[in-house]
Amino acid sequence: MDEEEYSKKYAMLRILKSVQEYLKPGDDPDTAVYPITVPDDLLYQVLKLEGADSADKLIHKIFKMGLTAWSEKVYNDAFGSQDNLQRFIELVKKRNKE
């Protein structure tokens, strides 16, 4: 594995780890980024029926679902299997000891 491939996989590993931490149940989000684009009627109807707090929670839930699907694709593209991921983690540990 050349240095460029190692650096890319290491960055993907860090991204996946941060997504995993973010998606843990019960944790509050670390950073809020606004604005986001949502269908107007979705936001309007949820606000009208259930209030602002419910609308915020719904949008966050949709975001988490998308983040989960995206991170699974990143995992598959970068590592492909648990064995490949584990081998890469062992390589990172070995390189950090040196």
Q: pLDDT by residue (tens digit) across 35-87?
A: 777 888 888 898 999 998 888 888 888 888 999 999 999 999 999 999 999 99
User: What is the value of pTM for the model shown?
Assistant: 0.73
**Cβ contact 96:21 at 8 Å:** no
**Cβ contact 67:22 at 8 Å:** yes
Residue 61: both structure tokens together: 């839930």
For residues 13 and 8, give the distance between their C-alpha atoms in angstroms, rounded to a whole number: 9
Residue 32 lies in a domain: no
Residue 89 lies in a domain: yes
Tell which residue, 69, 97, 78, has the closest CA to residue 10.
78
**Cβ contact 83:75 at 8 Å:** no
Domain that holds residue 50: 3-24+38-97
Residue 31 lies in a domain: no
